[in-house]
Each structure stands twice: as structure tokens, then as C-alpha cells.
Amino acid sequence: MFLSRSPLNRVARINGFSAQIRTVSDKPSTRTSRARRVTLEDFAREPKKKKKIGSRFETHPDSPEDKTHLPPRDKWRQIFAWVPVNDRVSLSNPETANTVAECFVPKGNTDRVIIEAFPGPGQLTRSLLALPKERIKKLIVLEQEPKYLDYLRPLAALDSRLKIIPFTALEWDTFDRVEEQGLLDDVETFPWDGGVHPNLQFISHLPITVYGEQLIAQILRLIPNRNWLFKFGRVKMNFLLSDYIWQRLTASPENALMRCKLSVMATATADFQTKMYDELQPYAEHFHPILVKKATDKLSNRRIGVPFQAVEITPLEKQVINPDKLDTWDYCIRRLYVRKATPLQQCIEDLGPGAQSLIPKLSATIDPKTIIRDITVDQWASLIQEFDAWPFAPTDLGINDAKLDNYGGRGILNRY
């Protein structure tokens, strides 16, 4: 039977199709609509977000009007809470700060010229200024954070001994500014073999980031050639630093976990002493910032809450490193420490093609089977002496491999 081609039948068929289309269109669509492109006009129409209370440049409502005095410790987290200084640990307990100041500048010291780096809002600074005035002749603080400066500048108005350099100690130009302002003109140069400098002293809270470690690495590197403050003599340095950094600085060859390039350079250039440890525990009772979460006692990280201690670092009178060979030391230690768990005889070729020929000459002082991290400072001195005398030693001792260039703080810190 054939369907009729009459106009009425065509109309019926069209109506039937229309009904089907309406039925389908009534169902919810599963297609995802294309997102409208955001334009600059949309941003212009949006209301501006209010600054978070306590941001870097905004005064917190709990801040005291008289900033010669610091706010209560329980307010520090709100008043000084902003990202740029979350890695900046500083003393917050005034009684602890008094004890540390007495430890760093004890009775018997006179006319000290002290450079204090990373003072934070100045709890330790206040304690240093509170010592008997004959002990400290001048206190030069290096601080760039605006909110911390708010609590330091009023002190300078009250005590002429305090000099503020509003720049970070992570840039060597900051120390140039200290000298350009004549703040060290009255510091005498003291003979290297005449003992520790009787007047000049460096004090610092050390940031817990890699930049803090790089800073102390570069400072130690400046000792053999007597640059920086060491041009005045053997200047004593006091640090408040994390136990993690301290273990890396002082690790012996037996400490396989913490022994590193920094340990070798530190042992070769300076003497290290812990001055206060138990008195600074637990962390939360003495330092800012305080963790909301439970503090950790693990040493293998740079997190806030790792135990801190007060230490003293003094340049050695007799330096193992010849200033003229400092680049050679850098080159050899960096190259070989890439494979620090490998025996010397298997990785000495990393110093250059043909370096295997040095093994017979080194055998008198170093067992070729000694793994790199077990080599002592005296053995490093022998290795570097033989490498320097080797006719085929590379003439370009620069290290361009980014994986190797993580020691010494190149870039923001690199100067000497």
C-alpha cells in the first residue's frame, strides 16, 4: 500500500516530525556551553579586593602606637604575618634575648662594633643595646622589611649607637653601603696571627632557606683570601641558626647523612662552638614564627620549628686553603661530590680526562677505595695539590652545569 502524496498527508508528516523535535528539546541538554572569554573590561568592572589585614605594607590594628616597645609575643603571628618573611626566624622571647646578648657579648668586652644581620623586629637588638654601654660602641643593623623597620627606627632615635641600613644582608652591596657611610672607619686592622679581633663582630639570625645556607657558605669561602670583614682580621661571628644547618656545617666524615661540600669548606676554614642549645628549646617558647602545627625535630629539612641554637664561628689562624688555589678547591670538591658515595678511584675521572693517572701519587695519603664523603680535609689538601701539579689539569675551572652550581650562592650572593 502506497502512502498518499496529498497535501494533507504532507502536513501530517511535518506535524509529526515537529512533535518529535519538541520532545527531544524538552530533555535537559548534556552539552557543555563554551565559557565566555574574559576581557579586560570584566576585570575593570570587578570590585577591588581589600588588602588582608596584616599584609606587608598595612598596619595591623593590634600594632602598638609606641613602637619603641615590641607587641606581646602572642600577637606576633598576626602583626608580622606575611609571606616574604615566613622563612625569617627571630628571637621573640625577651628573657631569652637577654641571655643570648650576654652570651654573644659577655662581660669584659669593650667598644664592640657589631654588625647585626636579619634582626627582625629587634628583640635581640634591644637586648644588645641594654647591655652596659661600655661593651658596645656601635650597632649596625641590616634589615629591609618595612614592618620590622617600623620597630627598629624608633630605637635609633633614642640611642645614637644604633645605625640602620635598610637593605638585606643577602646582597653584598649592602655591606658596601656600610663602608660608604663610614661606619667602619674607626675599626682598626688587627694582625691575623694576633688573635681574634678585639672589637669587630658579626651577629646574625640565619634564614632557614637555601639562601641562608648559601650566605654562610660564601662567608666561609671569604676567610682564606681575607676578603669582606676578614680584611680587618679574624672576626668572630655569632649565629642563631637551625640544627639542620649546624649539622651540615660540622658533619665529620663519619656522618654519612649530613657530610657535604659545606662541611669540608667549614672544617678547613673555621672553628665552631655551640654556645647555647638547651636554653633555646623548645623552639615555640623562644622564636617567631610559631607553627600552628606540631613542630618537627627532624634534621633533614628546613621547616620552621626545627631546633635552633646559638653558635660561635671563628676563623682559623692557620688556613689549609691557599688563597691562590681557592678556585681549585671549589672545582675539585664540586666535581667529586656529585658522586659522594662513590670510591675515589671510580670517579676521579670527573676532574678531567686522564685524571686516573693521579691515583698512584695519591695512594700514599688516600686509599683509592675511600668514598668521597669520607675524605678528610688533610686528604683533600693532598688531592688538590696533586691535581694542581698535574700537567693535564683543565685550565677552565668554571662549572657550568646547573646541577653542580648549587654551592657558594652564585647569583644574588655571588661577589668575591
- Any known ligand binding at 91? yes
- 3-state secondary structure string, the chain? CCCCCCHHHHHHHHHHHHHHHHHHHHCCCCCCCCCCCCCHHHHHHCCCCCCCCCCCCCCCCCCCCCCCCCCCHHHHHHHCCCHHHCCCCEECCHHHHHHHHHHHCCCCCCCEEEEEECCCCCHHHHHHHCCCCCCEEEEEEECCCHHHHHHHHHHHHHCCCEEEECCCCCCHHHHHHHHHCCCCCCCCCCCHHHCEEEEEEEEEECCCCHHHHHHHHHHHHCCCCCCHHHHHCEEEEEEEEEHHHHHHHHCCCCCCCCCCHHHHHHHHHEEEEEEECHHHCCHHHCEECCCCCCCCCCCCCCCCCCCEEEEEEEECCCCCCCHHHHHHHHHHHHHHHCCCCCEHHHHHHHHCCCHHHHHHHHCCCCCCCCEHHHCCHHHHHHHHHHHHHCCCCCCCCCCCCCCCCCCCCCCCCCCC
**How far is residue 173 from each of residues 191, 208, 360, measured CA to CA in Å?**
26, 22, 46
Q: How far apart are CA 82 and CA 80, in angstroms?
A: 6
Looking up cell 662567608 gives: 219
**With contact defined as beta carbons under 8 Å apart, do 308 and 278 qualify?**
no
DSSP β-ladder status, 308-315 and 90-91? unpaired
Q: How far apart are CA 143 and CA 164, in angstroms?
A: 7
Q: Which three cell numbers stand for residue 120?
A: 627582625
- Any known ligand binding at 143? yes
Burial of 367 (0-12, 13-18, 19+ CB in 10 A): middle
> Binding site, residues?
91, 143
> Binding site for S-adenosyl-L-methionine, residues?
91, 143
